[in-house]
Amino acid sequence: MKLGVAYYPEHHRPEQWSADLALMKQAGIERIRIAEFAWSRLEPAEGDFRWEWLDRFVALAAEYGLAIILCTPTACPPIWLVEAYPEVIPVDDEGRRNVFGARQHRCYNTPAYLAYSLRIVEEMAVRYGGNPNVVAWQIDNEFGGEQKRCYCDNCRKAFQAYLKSVYPSIRELNERWGNFFWSLDYQRFDQIGPPLKYKADLWLKNSPSIEMEYSRFSSQAIVAFCREQAALIREHSPGRPVTTNRFPLNWGDNVHWPELVRDLDAAGMDLYSESLHEIGFYADFNDSLKPGRSWFMEYGPNVANLSDGMEQVRGRGCEWFTIFKFKPFPFGQEQSLQEMLTLSGEPTASYRSIADWAAGRDAAGAPAAGAASERFAFSGVGIVFHFESSWAYTISRWGRQITDRLHYPNYVIDVVYRSLFRPDRSHRIVTDPGGLEGMHTVVVPLHIVHDPALEQALLTFANGGGRVLVTSDLFQKNADNVYLTRMPAFYTEVFGMTSFCAEPKGADAVVRRAAYGSGEVVMLHKDAGLADWRAAAAEWGMAGAE
Amino acid sequence: MKLGVAYYPEHHRPEQWSADLALMKQAGIERIRIAEFAWSRLEPAEGDFRWEWLDRFVALAAEYGLAIILCTPTACPPIWLVEAYPEVIPVDDEGRRNVFGARQHRCYNTPAYLAYSLRIVEEMAVRYGGNPNVVAWQIDNEFGGEQKRCYCDNCRKAFQAYLKSVYPSIRELNERWGNFFWSLDYQRFDQIGPPLKYKADLWLKNSPSIEMEYSRFSSQAIVAFCREQAALIREHSPGRPVTTNRFPLNWGDNVHWPELVRDLDAAGMDLYSESLHEIGFYADFNDSLKPGRSWFMEYGPNVANLSDGMEQVRGRGCEWFTIFKFKPFPFGQEQSLQEMLTLSGEPTASYRSIADWAAGRDAAGAPAAGAASERFAFSGVGIVFHFESSWAYTISRWGRQITDRLHYPNYVIDVVYRSLFRPDRSHRIVTDPGGLEGMHTVVVPLHIVHDPALEQALLTFANGGGRVLVTSDLFQKNADNVYLTRMPAFYTEVFGMTSFCAEPKGADAVVRRAAYGSGEVVMLHKDAGLADWRAAAAEWGMAGAE
Amino acid sequence: MKLGVAYYPEHHRPEQWSADLALMKQAGIERIRIAEFAWSRLEPAEGDFRWEWLDRFVALAAEYGLAIILCTPTACPPIWLVEAYPEVIPVDDEGRRNVFGARQHRCYNTPAYLAYSLRIVEEMAVRYGGNPNVVAWQIDNEFGGEQKRCYCDNCRKAFQAYLKSVYPSIRELNERWGNFFWSLDYQRFDQIGPPLKYKADLWLKNSPSIEMEYSRFSSQAIVAFCREQAALIREHSPGRPVTTNRFPLNWGDNVHWPELVRDLDAAGMDLYSESLHEIGFYADFNDSLKPGRSWFMEYGPNVANLSDGMEQVRGRGCEWFTIFKFKPFPFGQEQSLQEMLTLSGEPTASYRSIADWAAGRDAAGAPAAGAASERFAFSGVGIVFHFESSWAYTISRWGRQITDRLHYPNYVIDVVYRSLFRPDRSHRIVTDPGGLEGMHTVVVPLHIVHDPALEQALLTFANGGGRVLVTSDLFQKNADNVYLTRMPAFYTEVFGMTSFCAEPKGADAVVRRAAYGSGEVVMLHKDAGLADWRAAAAEWGMAGAE
């Protein structure tokens, strides 16, 4: 595992750069991640590009032997773009256009935003694509992070086009969504808008089917935009790996990351956590998405257990580990007193901890595991993570805050993965039904949306001797977010069940247990808690550390 | 007590109908409640009525010996109506027009909504009014349920007209509301709008008097609309009883149900509860509104104590008991896994429980009380429920959620009624001061609004030997939601009090106690809890079951 | 300490006035505060002034020997003004114009509001300025109380003008705010709007620098408006002291009261509290702002410990103590059952308590301290209260409710002052770095914004033998709400610190301790609790009563 760090040359006078670069180098850092929010300094007015400062910094970094991960600055459109095209700014779920003043103020379906974004990306790619010191690219920043959806007129039109591409007729859409319920039938696609919040005195919400489609649509817009940026960069910067920095799932899994990562060269993500099982989960997840090319683009150094966390990440196959950030921001919305340096520029405990780690020393100066150690052995356990099942849960829990509704990722991470967590073994996070080879056990929590390919794969896997652990909400809904009225084969063939489990959890969290072929299948109640999961894991000898 | 069930023929292929009807029949069900949300399938485009499917279903049900309660579908205006007349959709208390996509999206004061609603009601009444298998009507669905108020321009105009009809002059309105306070004087009626939310950093709210009038106005619009539907139905469907399905009070008592029910033939309501005292309260309330014609239009079968609940309802005089619903909805906003049948069409435990009940058997197959048993004896106790007092409390507690503010019904049900609840005795819920005959005790909780007729009735009742139990907030305000500055006669004559009780509750919840004529009057503190009420009830030998 | 009371002649028929005045007089009251919300009765239509009733009341009060504090009625613009100039009504942080219907519905930057306000103030000043029974003036009511900010177009323009007056160029503004962060650079001042709420699914907020400037700007608009009213009154009412009734800090310290009070003759404030240390704090604060001219304009009588609270206020130098209010309001948004009188006009316990106090009797009728006693001795301790530091904290805690965000005043009052509170000693609340003379100890809690003048004063004070107690967030930010990247002299000179304290609080809340000159300086952790503060106070012999 090698080390990088985020730095913002545009925040400092050029005279400051050399001192900072020297301190980075001394800490064992090899790469610097720059420019992700610098649009207003790279193009301070429309078409007025200012590359000089960036040229100088890239060159100066080279002098210090520090390579550059160059970021496209598209997460923060500048004021001139917003002023000329107010529709760049997203509209919220109450129909109000948001304001300029923070970040992520962009609608992924608005032509002006897309055009100006791709223009600066192309300009950047042309200028730096062949620079020998620019060794990798990060696209945008935390796509779909704080602004998960837009509800503007451009989205409206794009959503209607999306629906037309999916449904042969409005009649079929009505039937599949059950729009006869509550007389929600549409006559034409152009009557369908984004699912703005239905504001009532009590409980009312939109149809779960339109919400599921809007989740899919919103994710796909981001995937498409990322793909367009990647194509431009690849055209002008051959051989450099391209990635992005994904948001952690427990802050919102609204982007279908496997779809997005598929076209990138490395799986990049951001993580701020002190919880070792959570760090373990994300490190396994990242390496499962792109084996051998797991990159942490941001990792917060201000934690007590920094070296323990780094060891978890390293042992699970991380290739590049990038600290966010070298220096604290005195200004703006992310003020802090210290990062690797203090406000006044002095190295902090985390600076020293990172330098020690890079030098293969522990905090007492003795030799320690360090970057080059072996990675953890694979446990043989796969855990399926299914984005559309998570969306189905998010839609069904319409609390006030996004974080309240993230039942699925919180359950998978803090109950399921935690029950299986071992600090020296890695698990596989499965996002593709084709990926079950090499495992002895597959765990399928809260997979409420039916996936026929996965169903078949699980049957084959169990039949061939594998162990499968599912929850009682397995495969209850179709991709329209509608419950099935015919039982899936998994139920009838494995358990002989003729209806879904509708009972509340009893004292025994195991709902069903069956041999299947030469394998074994256990169904845990969907409300099973950490102790239940630990008991189930123990039965198969997979219990994690407490 | 006879059994009905809700069914949605428009949700199923006609080929499915027979199997479902047969299963209903086998369960002992006699009536099916249909069509309440079917507008978009009955009139998929303006004036394009499609009755064939409904004709066929009504006829098919007759073949199975199942009679029809036909519902008017006015709670869910279809997309074409909303598209042609956007003003059909209500405006919320921040002035934002709501969206199409759920239900109850209609303003009761908007001419287009009213006209198109009455048209389809009349078409339906003409077509089915004389059908021998259509034996009763339900108007609309849960009037004023999730959308309790609208604040649109049509409401504005209607509210101004309402105020003009109540107040001889704007000067009188100003004086009665105390508009000299905070300089809120109006010069003309047309300056008064619906009480949109006053959004402040701290605490500010609208005048309690305008809120009280808007509560009254909003309720009356619903009562008038219901009355118009009833008149059309009666014209074309003579002899069939007409009802509606009211919302439970603890989800919002914003409609003055006694006023609305007065012109209907049966008292119909919906109930979802596992709490026996709550079920008891509503069953008593329903029978008190229309003695002998208490209908439960919806009752959720997915409860552990279904037969206990049914016994409570039956013993308190319910005539028709209608389960909601026969089959679960796989789609839409009310998805569930099972009702009387599962998603895949198998009978559930509740199906069997209902069938046993209809057959006069208990769950073990032994003969049980069943439909034809005697009803519970009347306790001789009346409990006054006063809608305008409840509104006064709702207005004075301006929390975020409606349910937080429903202090009055929650107190009456979960404290007062509960303290008096006996599983084999019924009480009278009094909503008319003229209805005190036949009782030995009248309980008057939280009746903060002064009602001179009730005051006189209570004095007469006590004088003649009756026992009266009131709370310390009795008759403190007038109908304008303004405190009285002269003491009502009840205070001076019964207790000799010269000012209202303003003290916090002490150890003894009894604030005053007096003989009056040959009767007795006790005043409990308005903050008395369940234990206090139980103690007071015990003193008069009325203590309920714990 | 002398007594006043608030009364609303416009709420009563003139025939009632005499009886009320007689009861006031009997209670020992000397002044009546009137007319603060009476605009709609003084000018019921534009330019149609009606002074007769007020003339009569002022004259009648004189007959009873009761002097008048006359209030300007500008907190409640009447309907005709709002109707003619809708822009009088403030716009909230989501861009929605508020409604007429409560109070404080005025934008302090809207010309029409200012013009009509100043006109009625001048009319009032001309008419009553020389009236011998009008002995003092109160301007407006609780400036900036429930409506702390407006975000309208007039504010937008005024804010841009304000910024232009402060920043020589947009370039300097960008650099000082760090607008290169997140590409928030502006090109022109006219691109900057009020910091409307940035609505995101997670966490996003506006820049702390624009928020700080908007806090300053919003406060200054109120200060300017107050100053204009004061000038008009002074022109026409020479010799009468002018004050206003400030909001308590823990309900919002958004107005920089020392700036506003500087130009008034007395420090007037409102207080509703049963907490003796809180009452003590405000009484000390008020007397510190205008020594000898501390006026309590509102004090709620409905508290159990009224006479204890009055003794705290008296002992800390209050000159005029005005009860709010003589009679309860039966109508409107502030309904209550009793104040000094009940709704039906009978004296309450608080009436008797106040009358006893005025007569120098305790509740048992025995001679008691009363109005004329000595004031408490000064402790020698000063506590610095810094509004801009409080704003910095409010901005950094962007919870939902204003009250959640008021970390600074709550900490200063309920932790710091409380740890030092003694019921018989007064402290000085310091709002001016020039005011440290006469003290032996200065306490500087949560002073996160660097004030070079205070820094110098503290060094001088300590050097000369004073004791200084600071918290670990001292002087960390500059006036732009940006962290300092060079250490202030206080840190380097006193403690030799080269970076700010960034550690969490440990077992010992004392972070640093140093001798300086002949004095001593202690730094407590910014998260020190009440027990930590009590321990620190005890060490210097200043511990308060528990």
pLDDT at B365 over 70: no
Q: Which residues of A are catalytic?
A: 142, 298
Q: How far apart are CA B487 and CA A254, in angstroms?
A: 62
Tell me, yes or no, if B102 comes closer than 8 A to chain A by beta carbon.
yes
Mean pLDDT of chain A: 96
Q: What is the pLDDT of residue A543?
A: 83
Tell me, yes or no, if A499 comes closer than 8 A to chain B by beta carbon.
yes
Q: Please, are residues A371 and A357 in contact by the beta-carbon 8 Å criterion?
A: yes
Least reliable range by pLDDT among A12-26, A361-375, B3-17, C144-158: A361-375
Where residue A219 falls among pLDDT bands split at 50, 70, 90?
Answer: very high
pLDDT at B400 over 60: no
pLDDT at A400 over 60: no
Q: Chains with ≥3 Cβ pairs under 8 A against B?
A: A, C
Q: What is the pLDDT of residue B17?
A: 98
Residue A536's nearest CA partner among A445, A463, A459 is: A445
Q: What is the pLDDT of residue B197?
A: 93
Residue C358's nearest CA partner among C4, C21, C81 is: C4
Instruction: Give DSSP secondary structure letters for A8-71.
Output: -GGGS-HHHHHHHHHHHHHTT--EEEE-TT-HHHH-SBTTB---HHHHHHHHHHHHTT-EEEEE
3-state DSSP helix/strand/coil % of chain C, to nearest 5: 40, 15, 45
| Chain A residue closest in CA terms to B46 | A187
Q: Which amino acid makes up residue C95? A: G
List of chain A residues whose C-beta atoms are within 8 Å of the C-beta of residue C171:
none
Q: Is A242 helix (H, G, I), strand (E, B) or coil?
A: strand
What is this model's ipTM?
Answer: 0.96
pLDDT at A546 over 90: no
List of chain A residues whose C-beta atoms are within 8 Å of the C-beta of residue C177:
331-332
**Which residues 222-281 of B have a C-beta within 8 angstroms of A?**
251-252
Q: What is the pLDDT of residue B361?
A: 76
Residues 6+ apart with CB under 8 A from A438: A378, A380, A428
For residue B478, the distance in angstroms to the closest alpha carbon of chain C comes to: 10
- Of the candidates A182, A196, A485, which has its C-beta nearest B343's C-beta? A485
Q: What is the pLDDT of residue C365?
A: 65
Q: Between 3.20.20.80, 3.10.270.10, 2.40.30.170, 3.90.1310.10, what CATH number should domain B2-81+113-149+222-374 receive?
A: 3.20.20.80
Q: Please, are residues B244 and B208 in contact by the beta-carbon 8 Å criterion?
A: no
Residue B185's nearest CA partner among A216, C384, C331, A459 is: C331
Q: What average pLDDT score do residues C164-187 get?
A: 98
Where residue A397 falls among pLDDT bands split at 50, 70, 90?
Answer: confident
List of chain A residues whose C-beta atoms are within 8 Å of the C-beta of residue B105:
198
pLDDT at B288 over 90: yes
pLDDT digits (tens, 9 = 90+) for B232-249: 999 999 999 999 999 999
Residue C293's nearest CA partner among C262, C253, C266 is: C266
Q: What is the pLDDT of residue B370?
A: 66
pLDDT at B330 over 90: yes
Q: How many contacts (CB atoms, under 8 Å) link A and C?
A: 146
For residue B329, the distance in angstroms to the closest alpha carbon of chain A comes to: 8
pLDDT at A361 over 90: no
Q: What average pLDDT score do residues C292-311 get?
A: 95
pLDDT digits (tens, 9 = 90+) for C473-527: 999 999 999 999 999 999 999 999 999 999 999 999 999 999 999 999 999 999 9
Q: Please, are residues B325 and B339 in contact by the beta-carbon 8 Å criterion?
A: yes
Contact: A206, B92; criterion CB under 8 Å? no
Q: What average pLDDT score do residues A90-100 get?
A: 96
List of chain A residues whose C-beta atoms are within 8 Å of the C-beta of residue C203:
146
pLDDT digits (tens, 9 = 90+) for C98-126: 999 999 999 999 999 999 999 999 999 99
Mutation for testing the B interface, residue in A156, A182, A477 having most B CBs under 10 Å? A182
Q: What is the pLDDT of residue A525?
A: 98
Q: What is the pLDDT of residue A293?
A: 98
For residue C402, the distance in angstroms to the closest alpha carbon of chain A comes to: 19
Q: What is the pLDDT of residue C369?
A: 64
List of chain C residues whose C-beta atoms are within 8 Å of the C-beta of residue A96:
94-95, 199
Report in angstroms the alpha-carbon separations of C406 from A333, C204, C249, C470, C505: 19, 20, 9, 20, 21
Alpha helices in A343-438 (DSSP H): 349-358, 387-396, 402-405, 407-411, 418-420
- Of the candidates B185, B207, B482, which has its C-beta nearest C101's C-beta? B207
Residues 6+ apart with CB under 8 A from C89: C82, C97, C98, C99, C100, C105, C106, C107
Contact: C502, A148; criterion CB under 8 Å? no
pLDDT at B495 over 70: yes
Say which CATH class A377-539 falls into. Answer: alpha beta
Residue C76's nearest CA partner among C145, C176, C27 is: C145
Q: What is the pLDDT of residue B435?
A: 83
pLDDT at C278 over 90: yes
Contact: A205, B333; criterion CB under 8 Å? yes
pLDDT digits (tens, 9 = 90+) for C153-170: 999 999 999 999 999 999
Q: What is the pLDDT of residue B394?
A: 94
**Which residues 386-445 of C have a C-beta within 8 angstroms of B?**
402-403
Contact: A329, C178; criterion CB under 8 Å? yes
Q: Where in chain B is the domain with CATH 3.20.20.80?
A: 2-81+113-149+222-374
Contact: A41, C205; criterion CB under 8 Å? no
Q: Is A121 helix (H, G, I), strand (E, B) or coil?
A: helix
List of chain A residues whose C-beta atoms are within 8 Å of the C-beta of residue B344:
485-487, 498-499
Q: How far apart are CA A394 and CA A253, in angstroms?
A: 10
Q: Is A521 helix (H, G, I), strand (E, B) or coil?
A: strand
Mean pLDDT of chain C: 96
For residue B53, the distance in angstroms to the closest alpha carbon of chain A comes to: 13
- Of the candidates B45, B104, B335, which has its C-beta nearest A483's C-beta? B335
Q: Please, are residues B323 and B303 in contact by the beta-carbon 8 Å criterion?
A: no
List of chain B residues whose C-beta atoms are within 8 Å of the C-beta of residue A208:
331-333, 335
Q: How far apart are CA B427 and CA B316, in angstroms?
A: 9
Instruction: Give pTM, 2 decimals.
Output: 0.96
Q: What is the pLDDT of residue B402?
A: 66
Contact: C402, B202; criterion CB under 8 Å? yes
Contact: A483, B333; criterion CB under 8 Å? no
Q: What is the pLDDT of residue B545?
A: 78
Of C1 and B368, the structure prediction assigns the larger pLDDT to: C1
**Which residues 295-314 of C have a C-beta within 8 angstroms of B?**
none
Q: Where in chain A is the domain with CATH 3.40.50.880?
A: 377-539
The helix/strand count (H/E) of chain B reads as 19, 14
Where residue B397 falls among pLDDT bands split at 50, 70, 90?
Answer: confident
Contact: B402, A202; criterion CB under 8 Å? yes
Least reliable range by pLDDT among B290-299, B355-364, C301-310: B355-364
Q: Chains with ≥3 Cβ pairs under 8 A against A?
A: B, C
Q: What is the pLDDT of residue A360?
A: 87
Mean pLDDT of chain B: 96
pLDDT at A398 over 80: no
